[in-house]
Amino acid sequence: MNSAALNLDLTALLPALGMVAAAAAVLLLDLVNRGGRAPTRPWLPWGALAGVLVTAALSIWLIGQPAASFQGMAVHDERAQALNLVVLTGAALTILLSVRYIPNVNGQTGEYYSLILLVSAGMMVMGAATDLMVVFLALEIFSLGLYILAGLRRSDRRSSEAAMKYFLLGAFASAFFVYGAAFVYGATGSTRFDLIGDALLAGRADPLLLSAGVALLIAGFGFKVSLVPFHMWTPDVYQGAPTPVTAFMSIGTKAAAFAAFYRFFTEALATEQASWGMALAILAALTMTLGNLAALRQSSLKRLLAYSSIAHAGYILVGLTTAAAPGIDGALYYLIAYAFMNMGAFAVVILLERQGEMDALGSRLNGIARRQPMLALLATIFFFSLAGVPPFAGFFAKFYVFAAAVQGGWSWLAAIAMLNSAIGAWYYLRIVVNMYFAEPTAETRIEAEQLSVPLTVTLSLAAVFTVALGVLPWVWTELVQSGLVSVVVGGLAAR
């Protein structure tokens, strides 16, 4: 391969590079002045946040100038930028949630913030990958970071258990993934999505090897997004990890893995839709049903949100089952809506935690509306949105995704999904019932140290966007498809 053929267009990777640079800057900033009269440590989250915002701006700037790079192993199209924005939203809100939280969990804040940024970079690369090897690289980059983050509170047994469990099962999942990739390579002679697609089109693929490979890849992806039956780790890890990390995982991992999922299935396996579409549909139906049914019985808020996150993975998978453009755009819309409403829900959990613990019982919300009416109102928005009640973002997200399913001929799957969202309404509504109509107990209070300005900002941002995305859904689709200018112009024209 001569250098002229070597395509190394780095502009395509700018967002991921931005995150890596920010991570390095945060690490250095941590080292500059660790003690003394003006330690730099309090500035770390704001440095990290600035990095995220700059990267988001870069990402928005790149919309509309798609580029393929590294011999077709990565591509930066509108969907990659949309995914970047989802991940960056998650990262930014996580950083805001961590400002007060992390110093109590672990003193090494410099590492924490740089890890968040590096994990985000990995997720963003995954959304751009068009080659199984790059997908694997990205998977490992963000997974390794998340293993560490899950076990951040070293003195806590639960946290260590979560990290260990996540690491062991995650390693298994990675192994499955690599094994599957090897099979696919054996069957088609390539790991690049377009070349795999060509091989299938030309009929050069060994069907048995290929289906074994694809099945293993689905298992690997399934672990990452916690599809049933690969979901066992989710409740324990979600409960044990520090809450901001859990919140970040629930959004970032889902977004990245689903992005790779859709690219692989639509670009490499487009011709095989008939055979794996049904498999994905069944997985989706199982995932949402089991997730919702299990969530009905949870008393811990984090476990409830863990099972609810499994259910939401099922809803998103409904969009991907079709492998058509509307389903994927729907899934991306779902992810951004989910990022805001779920971050909001986790911020509520953080508020309810007590010094030194990393979970809260749902009963602590009993009667909270009497003591914290504003918080109850915001929490109500998040939970109604998660339940899919209009006019909040969660409704439009479901509507968009299920529309794609109906369009693709999967009406029965959309029907199962809607019935599931009725089940989901039951447990989200129960929380709202308890907040407003139950009698407050001695447990119903918020410790002053949990309440901080960044947390309030997170709650408000999440609520504002949960409402705004529901009322003005076109802002997001317009932004990720045509850029910021178009949104502004569109907004003016609508008036």
Partner 1 sequence: MALSIPYLLTVITFLPLVGAVLVTLVPSDGTKKWLALATTGGTFLVSLLLWTNWQQGEAGMQFVEEAVWFAPLGVRYALGVDGISLFLVLLTTFLMPIAVYFSILYVHKRVGAYMALMLLLETAMLGVFLSLDLVLFFVFFEASLIPMYFLIGEWGGQNRVYAAVKFFLYTFAGSALMVVALLIVYFSAGTFDIVALQNTPLPMAVQTWAFLAFSLAFAVKTPLFPFHTWLPDAHVQAPTAGSIILAGVLLKMGTYGFLRLAMPIFPQAAEQYGPLLGTLAVIGILYGALVALVQKDLKSLVAYSSVAHLGYVMLGVVSMNAQGVSGAVLQMVNHGLSTGALFLMVGLLYERRHTRLLSEFGGLWASVPVYTGLFLVVAMSSAGLPGLNGFVGEFTIMLGAYSYSPVFAVLAAAGVILAAWYMLTAFRKLAQGPITNPANDKANLKDLNAGELAMVLPLVLLFFVIGLFPNLFFDKINPSVEAMLATRSALIQQATAEQMPVLAETVEEQ
- Collapse the DSSP code of 242 into the 3-class scheme (helix H, G, I; strand E, B; otherwise coil) and give the result: coil
440 binds partner 1 (CB under 8 A): no
Residue with Cβ nearer partner 1 (282 or 325): 325
Binding flag, residue 488, partner 1 (CB under 8 A): no
Among residues 274 and 494, whose Cβ is nearest to partner 1? 494
Closest C-alpha to 329, from 107, 479, 145, 135: 479
Query: Euclidean distance between the first and final Cα of the chain, in Å?
Result: 55
Q: Is residue 432 within 8 Å of residue 426, measured between CB atoms?
A: no
Residue 470 tokens read as 């529901």
Nearer to partner 1, 22 or 375 (CB): 375
Q: Which of 21, 25, 429, 451 binds partner 1 (CB under 8 A)?
A: 429
**How many residues are given for the chain?**
495
CB 352 within 8 A of CB 301: yes
Question: How many whole angstroms separate alpha carbon 300 and alpha carbon 436?
Answer: 19
Nearer to partner 1, 180 or 314 (CB): 314
Give the residue with the Cβ less far from partner 1, 6 or 494: 494
# residues near partner 1 by CB under 8 A: 33
Shortest Cβ distance from residue 389 to partner 1 (Å)? 6
Q: How near is the Cβ of 270 to partner 1 at its closest, in Å?
A: 21
Instruction: Rule CB under 8 A: say whether 406 interacts with partner 1.
Output: yes
Q: Does 315 bind partner 1 (CB under 8 A)?
A: no
Which residues fall within 8 angstroms of residue 349, CB to CB, at 6 or more apart? 243, 301, 302, 305, 359, 360
3-state secondary structure 302-364: HHHHHHHHHHHHHHHHHHHHCCCHHHHHHHHHHHHHHHHHHHHHHHHHHHHCCCCCCCCEHHH
For residue 473, the minimal CB distance to partner 1 (Å) is 5
Query: Does residue 296 bind partner 1 (CB under 8 A)?
Result: no
Q: Which lies closer to partner 1 via its Cβ, residue 130 or residue 366?
A: 366
**Could you say which residues in the range 78-117 bind partner 1, by CB under 8 A?**
none
CB of 260 to partner 1, least distance (A): 23
Least distance from C-beta 421 to partner 1, angstroms? 6
Residue 217 makes contact with partner 1 by CB under 8 A:
no
Residue with tokens 């970079």: 121
**Positions in 456-475 near partner 1 (CB under 8 A):** 473-474
CA distance 242 to 153: 7
369-to-313, 347, 375, 433, 450 alpha-carbon distances in Å: 30, 16, 7, 10, 18
Site for partner 1 in 362-391 (CB under 8 A): 373, 384, 389-391
Q: How far is the CB of 322 from partner 1 (least distance, A)?
A: 12
Q: Residue for token digits 């990720």?
A: 480
> CA distances (Å), 147 to each of 7, 140, 142, in order?
33, 10, 9
Among 215, 324, 418, 451, binds partner 1 (CB under 8 A): 418
- 491 binding partner 1? (CB under 8 A): no
414 lies in the site for partner 1, by CB under 8 A: yes
Rg of the chain, C-alpha, whole Å? 22
Binding window for partner 1 (CB under 8 A); candidates: 125-133, 183-191, 221-229, 407-415: 407-415
Stretch that binds partner 1, among 60-68, 303-311, 358-366, 403-411 (CB under 8 A): 403-411
From CA 45, how far away is CA 42, in angstroms rounded?
7
Q: Please tell me whether residue 29 adopts helix, strand or coil conformation.
A: helix
Which one, 371 or 437, has the nearer CB to partner 1?
Answer: 437
Q: How far is the CB of 373 from partner 1 (least distance, A)?
A: 8
* String marking each residue 318-357 x if it binds partner 1 according to CB under 8 A: --------x--x----------------------------
Place of tokens 């030194």: 356
Ramachandran region, residue 226 (left: φ > 0; alpha: ψ -120 to 50; beta: rest): left
Quote the least distance from Cβ 228 to partner 1, whole Å: 21
Binding site for partner 1 (CB under 8 A): 326, 329, 373, 384, 389-391, 395-396, 398-400, 402-403, 406-407, 411, 414-415, 418-419, 421-422, 425-426, 429, 433, 436-437, 473-474, 477, 494
